[in-house]
Chain A
Amino acid sequence: AQKITQTQPGMFVQEKEAVTLDCTYDTSDPSYGLFWYKQPSSGEMIFLIYQGSYDQQNATEGRYSLNFQKARKSANLVISASQLGDSAMYFCAMREGLTSGSRLTFGEGTQLTVNP
């Protein structure tokens, strides 16, 4: 079974508008971390935001916020006030447990296009 599911292969948003990128996950481990990364066409993966399974509050980093709904196993990324430079591939990823080391499981990604 897919551990990380991103159901939106592509999304379009107008500049300055907000956009939500969906991510659902599957794990039986009570301890896990959820990450969002941005990958521009250059290839480098850029860390955006992190949410731990025990965190009580939704994570926020500047224009990025994570809508964490633990019971539904979803961790959607919200980008406010979209900019042209936000056009990129976005990946949701999970690290399970305290003993899995640094292993990340990635979703298939969502290609975001910001239109002027």
Chain B
Amino acid sequence: KAGVTQTPRYLIKTRGQQVTLSCSPISGHRSVSWYQQTPGQGLQFLFEYFSETQRNKGNFPGRFSGRQFSNSRSEMNVSTLELGDSALYLCASRPGTGVSEAFFGQGTRLTVV
């Protein structure tokens, strides 16, 4: 069974640009969550999508948005990039119900210059 796949693995963008990151969950998983990891703030929850609906949202500005498609693949978008958006963005998938653990992808490392 394939794991969680995130693309691209590395990305360099310029301030003011926008970026889209992609996450393909484990087959059959309906929940996809996104996290931002930085040395200063640690791991912070961005949002969760379940069956194409945002089920939960963290405390991030509106520049951060996401969506989920009918095949459970998810994208997150960051508009008007700032230097502070440089981080490792991790995606996690779960079946969506029950107490199962979350399975994480390898992350996308975004550098904003």
Query: Which B residues are CB-close (under 8 A) to A44?
Result: 104-107
B 57-109 contacts with A by CB, 8 A: 58, 88, 90, 92, 94, 96, 99, 101-107, 109
Bound Cα distance A81, B50 (Å): 39
Asked whether any CB of chain B lies closer than 8 Å to the CB of A91, the reply is yes
Asked whether any CB of chain B lies closer than 8 Å to the CB of A103, the reply is yes
Indicate with 1 or 0, residue by residue over B24-68, a CB within 8 angstroms of chain A CB atoms: 000000010101000000110100101000011010000000000
Q: Are B102's CB and A91's CB within 8 A?
A: no
Residues of B in contact with A, size category: 20 to 34
Query: Which B residues are CB-close (under 8 A) to A37?
Result: 104
Q: Measured between C-beta atoms, what is the minimum distance from A64 to chain B in Å? A: 13
Indicate with 1 or 0, residue by residue over A90-116, a CB within 8 angstroms of chain B CB atoms: 010100000011111111110000000
Q: Are B101's CB and A35's CB within 8 A?
A: yes
- Decide yes or no: A47 and B102 within 8 Å by CB, A106-B43, A108-B42 being known contacts: yes
- Which residues of A line the B interface, CB within 8 A? 33, 35, 37, 42-47, 50, 52, 91, 93, 100-109
Q: Are B107's CB and A43's CB within 8 A?
A: yes
Q: Are A101's CB and B102's CB within 8 A?
A: no
Q: Measured between C-beta atoms, what is the minimum distance from A42 to chain B in Å? A: 6
Query: Which B residues are CB-close (under 8 A) to A91?
Result: 43
- Decide yes or no: A43 and B103 within 8 Å by CB, A101-B31, A103-B33, A106-B43 being known contacts: no
Contact of A52 among B58, B96, B99 (CB under 8 A): B99
Q: Measured between C-beta atoms, what is the minimum distance from A104 to chain B in Å? A: 6
- Decide yes or no: A102 and B31 within 8 Å by CB, A43-B88, A109-B42 being known contacts: yes
Q: Are A50's CB and B45's CB within 8 A?
A: no
Query: Which B residues are CB-close (under 8 A) to A50?
Result: 99, 101
Bound Cα distance A108, B31 (Å): 24
